[in-house]
Amino acid sequence: MKRSSHRIIVCSLCRDTVTGLRSGEGLCADLRSRLSLQPAPSFAIETIDCMAGCARPLTVAFMAQGKATYLFGSIDRGTDAGALVEFARLYASLPDGWCNSGQRPARIAGKILARIPAAGKAREQVR
């Protein structure tokens, strides 16, 4: 089996702010299904118990070796899954993973919690 270089990680402990239900596992299933419908780079879709985005649940991260990592929060499983798939396709196409808010799908552009440069890509500023 081919190992994917791209990962989508979803918090499994985040609770929906309205229903109080945990929706991370369901979002993973939605993403797997949607990404399998069209030819696209392979993504490993995983859960983790916590990404410390508790103030803005549901949190989702995109990461790949040599690329910037993105952390999104306030994700709604029902309305944001399509935008997350759209972002996955964009992210896979970017050599360094770097994009600005105008390039991200409008539905999730304002839901970013962090964009972390790839290891070794940050530049030290001289003061």
Based on its alpha-carbon atoms, the radius of gyration of the chain, rounded to whole angstroms, reads 15
**How, if at all, do strands 43-48 and 60-64 pair?**
unpaired
% of the chain beyond a pLDDT of 90: 66
The full length of the chain comes to 127
Q: Answer yes or no: pTM beyond 0.85.
A: yes
The per-residue DSSP string of 59-119 comes to: PEEEEETTS-EEEE-S--HHHHHHHHHHHHHHHHH-SS----TTTS-HHHHTTEEEEEPPT
- Report helix, strand or coil for 53: coil
Question: Per the omega criterion (within 30 degrees of 0), is the bond before 35 cis?
Answer: no
Cα–Cα distance, 23 to 10 (Å, whole number): 9
Query: 6-116: what fold?
Result: Glutaredoxin (3.40.30)
* pLDDT, tens digit only, all 127 positions of the chain: 345 689 999 999 988 777 777 888 999 999 999 988 876 668 899 999 999 988 899 999 999 999 999 999 999 988 999 999 999 999 999 999 999 999 999 999 999 999 999 987 666 555 5
The per-residue DSSP string of 2-53 comes to: PPPSEEEEEESS-B-TTT--B-HHHHHHHHHHHHHSS----EEEEEES--S-
